[in-house]
Structure 1
Amino acid sequence: MTWDATIQTVHKLADEFRQSAPQRDRDRSLPFNEITELSTAGFFALTIPREYGGLQAPPSVVAEATRILATADPNIAQIPQSHFVYVNFLKIAGSHQQKQYFFSKILDGQRLANAQSERNGSTIASITTTLDAVETGYRLNGTKYYCTGTVFADWIPVLSTSEGTEFVAFVPSDSPGLTIDDDWNGFGQRTTASGTVHLDNVHVDSAWVVPREPAVRAPAAYGAFAQLLHAAIDAGIARNALDDAAEFIRTSARPWFEAKVDEARDDPLTTYRLGEVTVDVASAEALVAEAGALVDEAFAAFSSEQATRASLAVAIAKAAADRAALSATNALHELGGTRTADASLNLHRHWRNARTHTLHDPVRWKYHNIGRALLGHPQPQHALF
């Protein structure tokens, strides 16, 4: 299969997923079948390097596929995000033996998730989960939150510390002592299964432990790639909301009486506002595509200069996509009127998804770092995702 064929398959699956997205959100029905369909189509193996039997799709292709999925169901689009990030992590930091082992598993259809964030530290970057060496390997102890996609995963990469050094331990999801609580109760992105992972003296094979430092410090745009996919999700939410807004205005909305027109689509202030939002959404899509191309270049160049350019471009795209997602989801209700608040339509899922997903990392810091870069300060390239 080629990259183009994969994108075509993603388009077809997105059309299918779009039809059932409102019901899944309403019932909080997790998309097990949909994730299996993506796996069967080879989506999760998209970035495996050619030398290990994969297609080696570049970041821009993954971002576009993610955006397409998000136009249908941003929950499904978010679930593979950490999978692709940790495949990239292995490419940068893993040994040849580790790459052979895990990439073959992924080519066979297995999936990764994440167990990274904690609540008991002073910031989101604080890690207290411990990885202790024992005679037979390692033991993991700790609790992780916001662990997106863990119930769909075969392996859970766990961020942990051992004697002051950070490691990622790849843990089989059925390991004794590992418990996954599907307790995510956010008002948006309701079916990402972003629950809690408990690690109680979990055994980890030494061959499954990878030091984090090589990925974080290498000029590999590691963090930029992770953030690019989040920007693509926001851009997809924006497009989905804009399309639904236009459809509702054409078919169901009423014009404001002062407009003195018969149909809402002829209301001049409605068309003006819709045009304004269209510019926001199209701009975000273009900036995500541009950022994707620069992350592609950074992956190929493996230089600090290219990684910095990519990080700045992704920050700009993320800020634009954040704005577009919130603008479009607000405008759907603003222009569609009170009828859009009918809970049976579930149009409010777009705003709930946008507001929840854009909380992932504060956009105010994107603007801050963009401004600093313009004034000659270095662009941060942290690995938070």
Structure 2
Amino acid sequence: MTAVGAERIASAEQARDIAARLAAEFAPGAARRDRDRELPFAELDRLAASGLLATTVPAALGGADLAPGDLAEVVRLLAVADPSIAQIPHSHFVYVNLLRLAGSDAQQRRYLGQVLDGARIANAQSERGGATAAEIATAVRPVDDGQRFRIDGIKYYCTGSLFADLLAVLTRLDDPDGRSGLPPGQYIAYLSADTPGVEIIDDWNGIGQRTTGSGTIAFDSVTVDRDQLVHRSAAVDAPTAYGAFAQLLHAAIDTGIARGALIAAVDFVREKSRPWFEAEVARAVDDPLVVQRFGELAVTVTAAEAALDRAGAVVDSARHRPEHVADASIAVAGAKVLADRAATEVSSALFEVSGTRSTAADLNLHHYWRNARTHTLHDPVRWKYQHIGRALLHGTPPPLHGVI
């Protein structure tokens, strides 16, 4: 992919306005794109050109330095319209944040300068075959004089890779002789998507989030320079709110799916549903049981949105006050639980309140449920409850592992 050039956004209000306008453009084609697996290349070009992908670049480098809570609202607005489009830049924002927290000044100028010009970052992070998802087999090894490195491995679930200019590749340093002089641990290698030895494979076949480009990437003797490596430790082994930031955006996607499903249900019942005969009303919207159920669903969605807003505010505070990082993780964990519940419940209840007509395959209303069911599996909410309960009962802060 080639960066398309981007506008510059100066404020949170401008970012929200642009997100709302793009969402209105993206929404009409979302069901069709999902049904036909029509990849949103044009829509991603529009998103990049709008400047939204550069809004978290620090002000000192020319960005808007958008606060996490404001970014979460941008992501939520996009997810209401098309959850796949909202998820595609998730890793982009996470790896912009990693550069902010752990990149050198030169690395920030280099890569965030490209982001300001419209470049898109995708992740190459997850692997299969390890005992747990946290194990990383892909190694980065020094070659020659230790100034160059080689990467070999295979990554899966590489969301956004089909649309990316840059890849952020999670690796472990394999340097037993200490030739490179780098400290041990995990490194993110930032490299161009068209680097020799990189093969991006369009093989994502999940039941939901079908157009996210979350396929496989193979790395075969890929060579990178020392200055392309960023040690993760400064971001994930310190109280930086790195994990809370990433999880906040996941919660925003699920909250957006819930609102989108509720809007779709309202529209369908108003325009197409017939009332159940026992209600003795002329319109489905006047069936008291339907009215009751919509009230319940509205409360569920509103609660998720309120929790997201509160979590965003706590993460905003934690960016500058490390003593608030644990509170931010717990607040985001709660928001994630409510977002998960809202997205899966409302996207399923859509059919309950709309009736048999809503199950027509050509309408593809089930993409809300498939998207919700797929995206909410990203990390289990059962562990969110654990961290919340431990904090409440024992005063135990959540762990620093980057996913809470």
Q: 2:156 is matched with which residue: 109, 134, 145?
A: 145
Q: Which residue of 2 aligns with 1:43?
A: 52
Does 2:365 align with 1:347?
A: yes
Q: Distance in 2 between matches of 1:257 and 1:371?
A: 47
The reply to whether residue 212 of structure 1 matches residue 223 of structure 2 is: no
Contact 2:33 2:40 in 1 (8 A): yes
1:251 Cα shift? 1.2
**1:69 counterpart residue number:** 78
- The structure 1 residue matched to 2:314, chosen from 278, 294, 304, is 294
- In the alignment, what sits opposite 2:298? 278
Conserved 8 A contact 2:102-2:232: yes
Contact 1:311 1:381 in 2 (8 A): no
Pick the aligned partner of 2:95 from 56, 68, 86.
Answer: 86
The aligned residue for residue 387 of structure 2 is 369
Q: TM-score, normalised by structure 2?
A: 0.93
TM-score by length of 1: 0.98
2:244–2:403 CA contact under 8 A, matched in 1: no
Which residue type is aligned with residue 158 of structure 1? V
Please state whether the residue corresponding to 1:139 is helix, strand or coil: strand
Aligned residue runs from structure 1 range 1-385, under 5 A:
1=9, 2-135=11-144, 137-163=148-174, 165-301=185-321, 303=322, 305-376=323-394, 377-384=396-403
Q: 1:276 corresponds to which letter in structure 2?
A: E
State the Cα distance separating 1:16 from its structure 2 match. Answer: 0.4
- Identity score, percent: 53
Uncovered stretches (5+) of structure 1, i.e. residues with no partner: none
Contact residue 123 and residue 160 of structure 2 kept, 8 A: yes
**C-alpha distance in 2 between matches for 1:379 and 1:68:** 29
Aligned AA for 2:199? T
Q: Secondary structure at the match of 1:189?
A: coil
Q: Deviations over 1:40-81 (max 9, x none)?
A: 111111100011111101101110000000000000000010
- Runs of 4+ displaced beyond 2 Å: none
Deviation at residue 381 of structure 1 after TM alignment:
3.5
* Equivalent residues of 2:128, 2:156 under 8 A apart: yes
Q: CA deviation at 1:172?
A: 0.9
Give, as a single letter, the amino acid of the residue that structure 2 aligns with 1:313.
A
What letter is aligned with 2:211?
T
- Farther-moved stretch of structure 1 (94-103 vs 311-320): 94-103
Cα contact 1:128–1:160 (8 A) shared by 2? yes
Structure 1 residue 233: Cα displacement: 0.3
Query: How far apart in 1 are the matches of 2:246 and 2:252?
Result: 10
Mapped to 1, the partners of 2:259 and 2:290 lie a distance apart of: 18
Q: 1:378 deviation in Å? A: 2.2
Instruction: Give aligned pairs, total.
Output: 383
Shift, 1:331, TM fit: 1.0
Q: CA deviation at 1:346?
A: 0.8
Shift of 1:108: 1.2
